[in-house]
Amino acid sequence: MPHPSTLQKIYQSAKMTEAEVQTVIKSFKCIEFKKGDFLLKEGQTANEYFCLEKGLIRSFVYDYKGDDITTNFFGENDIVVEASSLFQRIPTKENIQAITDCICWRIDFDTFQQHFHQIEGFREWGRGYLSQSLFHYKQRSISMIADSATDRYLTLLKQQPQILQNAPLKYIATYLGVTDTSLSRIRKEVIKAKI
């Protein structure tokens, strides 16, 4: 049984007391996913979110041509959530799938809501998490327009190297907005530049 140190890291906050952190942590249940398992499928409404202890997960959508486009990667100590489906109670357009075998901690929506209304520190933590997520998505959308594919690759290499080590090339390519061939060329150029 893994130790919920992931939960401790995620919920450690100046706004939450240790007792509040422990109350929140006790609400999570450990769940394992095998490589290829879906945590959420298009058309479903999210009723839970996960804290990822071990492994790699991605979210993806199908574009108008039916191609599978990676929208996000989740690594260790990340929160795996489709926020608009969970909080607005609407069916999702995204799929969330394990890329590797994964160990997660799961909390259901009703328990989350209960904590959110009863624990002020948890509410503050939630606001902080959402504003950080908005910042991340804004930076990513600007990067997709303003940065070169090579710069986007180098940012990913610096910030989330585990993705480049564990995710298939085709997933990384669609996440970066390039073809598999372009990504292979960029990788070769980066390796050559380091030599």
DSSP 46-110: --EEEEEEES-EEEEEE-TTS-EEEEEEE-TT-EE--HHHHHHT---S-EEEESS-EEEEEEEHH
Q: Which neighbouring-strand residues pair with 104?
A: 31, 52
Domain covering 5-136, topology: Jelly Rolls (2.60.120)
Tokens 């999210």 correspond to 46
pTM of the predicted structure, to 2 decimals = 0.90
| Chunked mean pLDDT (size 10), the chain, 195 residues | 74 83 93 97 96 96 95 94 92 97 96 93 89 90 93 92 92 94 91 76
- What confidence score (pLDDT) does residue 55 get? 96
Tokens 């160990």 correspond to 103
The answer to whether the CB of 21 falls within 8 A of the CB of 68 is no
| Domain spans of the chain, in order of start | 5-136, 147-195
- What confidence score (pLDDT) does residue 52 get? 96
CA distances from 154 to 30, 39, 167, 169 (A): 34, 29, 16, 15
- What confidence score (pLDDT) does residue 25 get? 92
Tokens 């608009």 correspond to 84
Structure tokens at 10: 């995620």
